[in-house]
Structure 1
């Protein structure tokens, strides 16, 4: 993920429970469904991924006409690209391949492929399909001509990669992988930093485990889809093991495999978090409750030593899980940073660590918000201290997101014009607008939080918890005297009665919670905030698949330079053939004075400015820097002193020498010349 999502670190407190589906709740759910549909539209209607490596130039140049057939075609990209055997194809006018050998890196960002010697006259099409340094496929085509242009049966549009069914599936898998990462890392961070008791809650456990499953499944899908996504685009090639083997040798493949290995370590982390860690916390609560329920306060007070030891052990376990979890989370974030935007362009040594921090901050904020939402709707209680701790953590995430996001925006855009003039900048503006909505919803959440009055509900909840623990303690005490049937039956009845009282207390606590309109309003605002965040995540995923504004502007500048027109060229060259009435001036105009076909006009005038009727005029073009020419042009006489020629071919841009030969009589003629930049 790239630019900052500027979430708010608002305070959300109180005790939440699943409330009945009132008309207001149904309205909020409908809003969430609408926002999810918008997110789906971003993927369903998205075009194929834009190229992140731009073709800056080629030799022969696009649309040029060369006098001598080339022996090699070279292409210059804006960044390094990965090649395969079929990355470059050169096709003759009938669509037959004339390239020989494999494409090769020549120097830096320049690549080439050999062609058959002595290519005949005609128009040739060059198609290319490569993978940019940030792992996105790039394709395109251009034409050049040998001798003169000709008709061709080959389409110059080139093969489009990154689209179709495979492209759609690949984009969806990328979205799921981001979502899984956020839920997995953010949920675990929320438990360890804010709400340790949440490790024992089934709803929270299911949420975090579902994040791990989603990220693992999406990573496997990306690994299978990658070969077809960057190649043929055919769904049948998804299960081609030879393509998977090729993917494993690329940077993107290495990142995906590294992610799978780190997910194995994450599975161990989750197992400890929801196993030994959750059980230790639950056992501690049960022991404390049993001691209070049996009235054995002296025994409890006498156990300060063991209790302190258990607390220290739990603290050590928390610290170990936090350190191990951070290492795994940073490693997972690095698998995106090492293969996408941050890994190429300017300042990569700084951009990659910044990208890792950005991803971690997003996961902590958005994953914590999702866990909070689940707790408000599915968990019997969540204390205000946990929510207040999350508020502080969320604020730190906001600061990190803003700092890293501003840097990433500058790095990917490069100029203010790219903010509105490129697809990347326009998507970024959409994201900023959605974040503004998030800020507004967060402000509403803070207002609901300030109105919470959860003291009666919290008291009833504590009473219910105490009675549940008492029931367990009574059941254990009766089991120790199982030899006496009467005592056992009495103990069982006591435990059953305690369970009934605990259920009644829990129901009373739920009624008290649901009677608080502030708590219902908080749940709705958090739900709306999460729904908007889902769309923000969709826009962010689309941003990572869009050509950065800086690269797009460089490509536009290169294309504009290559196709630049100097406008109609006009040169006035005086001449003197040496004979009687042999002086005058010839004016040469070339329109549009660019690479390719041009229209030329020559006007011959006497020193007094009147038309000069000369018997013959000839022109020759020479590009001495490239040893091209002279290319002769014999114009046709249109009128007195006016000569013209159409279809004058300029094969490439450069400083051309234009030589004009004027004959004023049977024996008097001269050649004059002048240099001019064309194209």
Structure 2
């Protein structure tokens, strides 16, 4: 970890540092991010889960069942937690008819079942559910079903959203946690590796303490607020011990608890570092730097193992990449923060003595190289994460997550440009130290101050956008959900031959919206020239052999020439349904045709 900083003359410019080469490097960095993002976004992949979605239910949404069910079962697209949520079933008057807590069913963590009171009366029942998906984000929804028949009224469940004050303070806590982590992890690594004497400065010491305390306070706040946020409870419930106990049993609650424990160890090591670092030798600095890097990786893992990276395809690789991404972010931004303090702070004490750890050109040159390595890591890991969570250009440009990702990429690109400006100043300073005219040192220092200040301001913007990103549904699942919600019709056409002189024709069948639940089935009968015809009888049945559902009669009504329709047809499960149409053209001539139609 610790490296001896070479003298300025050891960093004299080479042919590779000519302005034309520098411009080419800048152009490379500015082009790398969007090009890699484009390449991987359109690279294609299987679906990557993030926020869970309700896949199906029994009884199905908007369906009518002939008798009172003993329970309600919800099936989600991924595993969910119910400790901070649950399932409520309300009768038409708004009274709860569920008994006991919601439990995982025989389908495992992705299935939630709640029992119902026996002997429920006919009418419309409302199911309101709230669970936490595997990426630690709370989700909620509601639907209705009918027992025997629909009633004139149904229960009003009101808003299921979290308290606005809880959401606001939780967002602040998450943003503070990201910023504090970056400052804490990177500033210590910068001091250990490049400027150990600077730890004796009061401003630097305050930065270390404030970032450690900020991460601790924000983590405790996030832990206390997660329960109210996930359960849609008021702000005051943050101090409810029962809610806190339920939070500690969740995936995120355990991760935040581990983060607090790691922060305890980090605080002890930080105190030791402040005491010994100014006089520590190279070997001790290497050991201290390695220990701090391990603790920083552990802190990063508390995010990666409880958020988007931990769910979906290639989860182990995604978690590893996310940890590396956070470490690179911290190394860059934390080191940048120390540079800001040293550049803008007073360089001499009240007695006129030079303060320890003054920033010099070789130190900035070394950090410039480290920063570019961090940028490379951030681009590669960031683009990989974007590919997992976006998946297509349509999702990139049509979802909140995708637009925020573009905004973050632009900020990072501007940060690279600011860093390049600082590097150009360094090259000029190094040439001066090699024998060229020094020029105005104060003017050059002002140049690098402006570049570093701009880089720091953009870093704050990046952290702010990142905070919003981690609380936003990934573009891949948001886009898929929006696409699934669009009206769709499953249709097919097939010829039939019932025999006789007028026994041939074409049957068209359509299911709308072709989603599990209530659908409308339309059948069109036409002659070989596709003119509507009205045979004496048309009957329809549906079956789902894959799920052992035998043929169910669908009563169709003749509504127009050549057209029959059945409304309110319950197709409770997703799958490929076999739709059979029997067409009787005479007393003795009859044909049966079957077409497969996919129901989502």
Please give the range of the TM-score, normalised by the shorter of the 2 chains. 0.7 to 0.9
Partner of 1:363: 330
- In 1, Cα distance between the equivalents of 2:288 and 2:553? 76
Structure with higher Rg: it is: 1
Does the CA contact (< 8 Å) of 1:585 and 1:607 recur in 2? no
Q: 1:651 aligns with which of 567, 571, 575?
A: 571
SS of the equivalent of 1:125 reads strand
Counting matched residue pairs gives: 529
Shift of 1:575: 4.7
Scaled by the length of structure 1, what TM-score is found? 0.69
Match of 1:125 in 2: 126
SS in 1 for 2:281: helix
CA–CA distance in structure 2, aligned partners of residues 115 and 268 of structure 1: 53
Query: Structure 2 CA distance, aligned partners of 1:235 and 1:657?
Result: 53
Q: 1:547 to 1:139 in 2, by over 3 A?
A: same
Conserved 8 A contact 1:583-1:606: no
How far apart are residue 107 of structure 1 and its match? 2.1
* 3-state SS in 2 of match to 1:516: helix
Partner SS, residue 93 of structure 1: coil
Which one of 467, 491, 499 corresponds to residue 541 of structure 1?
Answer: 467
Task: Check if 1:346 corresponds to 2:290.
Answer: no
1:194 aligned to 2:194?
yes
Matches within 5 A, 1:561-580: 564-567=488-491, 573=496, 575=498
Contact 1:201/1:379 (<8 A) preserved? no
Return the offset for 1:593: 4.4
What displacement does 1:228 show? 0.3
Deviation at 1:370, TM superposition (A): 1.0
* 1:31-60 residue CA offsets vs partner (Å, 9 max, x unmatched): xxxxxxxxxxxxxxxxxxx97222233334
Aligned to 2:557: 635
Paired position in structure 1 for 2:32: none
Higher RCO, 1 or 2 (CA under 8 Å, sep at least 6)? Answer: 1
For 2:210, the equivalent position in structure 1 comes to 210
Aligned to 1:176: 176
**How far did 1:206 drift?**
1.0
Give the TM-score, by structure 2 length: 0.77
Shift of 1:412: 2.5
Partner of 1:56, secondary structure, is: strand
CA shift in 2, pair 1:603/1:362, >3 Å: closer
| 2:450 paired with 1:524 | yes
User: Which structure 2 residue ranges, 5 or more long, are not aligned?
Assistant: 1-5, 9-48, 348-357
- Of residues 592, 595, 599, the one that matches 1:673 is 592
Task: Give the aligned partner of residue 419 of structure 2.
Answer: 442
Give the Cα–Cα distance (whole angstroms) in 1 for the partners of residues 505 and 431 of structure 2.
96
Question: Which whole-Å deviations, capped at 9, do the CAs of 1:495-518 have from their partners, x for residues lacking one?
Answer: xxxxxxxxxxxxxxxxx9997222
* 1:405 to partner: Cα distance: 2.2
Distance 1:114 1:565, change over 3 A: farther
RMSD, aligned CA:
3.8
Cα deviation, 1:321-359, whole Å, max 9, x if unaligned, reads 212212221221121122112222122222222222211
Determine the structure 2 residue equivalent to 1:314. Answer: 281
Contact 2:361 2:429 in 1 (8 A): no
- What residue number does 1:223 align with? 223
In the alignment, the residues of structure 1 paired with residue 160 and residue 523 of structure 2 have an alpha-carbon distance, to the nearest angstrom, of 41
The structure richer in helix per residue is 1
Give 3-state SS (helix, strand or coil) of 2:451's partner: helix
**Conserved 8 A contact 2:556-2:566:** no
Match of 1:83, SS state, is: strand
- Distance in 2 (CA, whole Å) between partners of 1:403 and 1:634 is 58
- Comparing 249-258 with 591-600, which one deviates more in the overlay? 591-600
